[in-house]
Structure 1
Amino acid sequence: MPTLIALIAFALSGLGLTAWLRRNQAARPAPASTERSAEQLSKLRWRDFARLVLQVMHARGYRVAAEEGLPADGIPTDGSDIVLERDGVRTLLSCKYGSAAVVGAPALLGLAKSATLRGTGEVIVVTPGRFDEEAARIARQQNIELIDGQSLWPEVRPYVASEAAAPVEAGPSNATTPKLLGLAWGGAAVIGILAWMLAQGLQPAAEEAAPQVAPVRTAAPVTPAAPQPAPAGVVPTDPAALEARRREAANAITTLFGVDRALWSTQSTLLVYLSAEDVDPTTDLCPLLERYPELAASRVQLQPPAGSRKPVRFKQCRSY
């Protein structure tokens, strides 16, 4: 009897909730239009995308700095970075546009050095996609402004051609119907369980006291334990993997401010060429090495710039 009551409550409440949710959805006003999403920026050609970005920069007060060989529209024909100017401050604009939806750290490597060579004090990187966490971390270290497609779209939308951005009329969408049905019948299941518990509690006490035959329990099959994943800090044994980790650490350190380049002179000595005499990058350098347990105690040789009279310095982020 409790099971029958629970099934009836489940069916009635499920049908009732489904009807109510559908009626409520149908009563909502249909959206007037569907806005062009930021993802559609990736469908443009690079030159068209760069032109839209320049319009946004113009709205922010930037102007393209005059450079030799630059076309009239300010967009380099070879797809290189663009130098902007505002209030006497020059800024390097880099449009990272391609088939990849996610821009990683390698795309930002060398931008700070390129900005220095071209006489700019700031860097802005724009993409129709998004940036991964490593790219965002390097941008914070080097004071690079990142603008992804979601952030760019509200600013670029006024400049999109009217015919391309024309609203599309749409009626009430049924895209959420499966979700609504799931909510309705999930709630009905809860009501059915509550009804079963209530009916179970109202059964006569004599029926509860009736002797019941204990079910025969069978031993559950023993399944072999799943192999545990290796701890995150385990050092790989493959020489190729170790070399890749050393190369990855050196590339990351090369992007730091004041560092010209970094390379491994031996397996335990990292040679860091500085671009200025008074720079000490160890504060940012050590966390990059300590990410790899086998490299944390490596000796760091800080090599002053060519022509400097300052001695070579040695650092060690962590003792053995």
Structure 2
Amino acid sequence: MQMSTAHFRTAAISCVLFPFLFLSSAKADTIAPFKDELFSNQTVLESGDSGDFTRIDYDEMRDINGRDSIPERRVKERYVSLKVRRVQENQTLQLPTGPMEVGRVGRDQGQAFTVIFIHGRGGDRRLGLNDISFGGNFNRLKNLAAENGGTYYAPSVRSFDDKGVSEVASLVAYASAQSGGKPVVLACASMGSFICSGVSRDPATVAKLSGMAILGGAPDPALSKSAAAKARLPIWFTHGSRDSVYAAEDQVSIYRKLRAASQPVRFTLFETGSHGTPVRMSDWRALLNWLIR
């Protein structure tokens, strides 16, 4: 079969353009690798919902005793890079809701994205800045933010009621303004999830968020009717299967309800993990690459 000159030109142009069209349609990772070989190579025991639900193998002897030089107190040196402390600063921000003590890692303004971590009961900003505990996972988060042009805030939250929600909402607005409207991810652990729940009901704050991560958090039965759900805000839950504070089954049921409503949600369940396991084991690079949009 002979090909006309017009057909040949069309085919030639297609050969040149199609690869670029394919590449442009794929979502590139926002966050580049950092010690992925130590943090991201987790064994998947079960995968469902087209990969949105995963059950991850967790073993205390391997993931605590094998990872820490002093179990639960000091991680082995290869898991951390302390150079990130050069771009870390304690600040007292003067927000409309009053002064807020925060630890900031990365740029003060013009950042490509922002991550805000909310601690649980009894914590303060020092928890989210801790380099050597929690298996080095906060050190990794700090490095991921700083090395990719982002900013990480670890605020001290004084209460987990409406006042605390208002204060965090002010921090979200501040971070959004400092970055010129770039993505903001709010991550809440344990009782700090009350802050995420409260923020989820505030349309103005939800509009400034790119996504939420809830680590070992309290189930929120009203989440499916929240402003966050109406805005289809991406939410990623991580939880230990043996959490004695907030039952894993209760949080999974929240995920199922949201997914049944076609909400953008993911769930990582750490098999045999306890209440604190998500803070140690959550893969921050995977979370951020999905939540930053």
For normalisation by structure 2, the TM-score amounts to 0.22
Structure number having the greater strand percentage:
2
For normalisation by structure 1, the TM-score amounts to 0.20
Larger Rg: 1
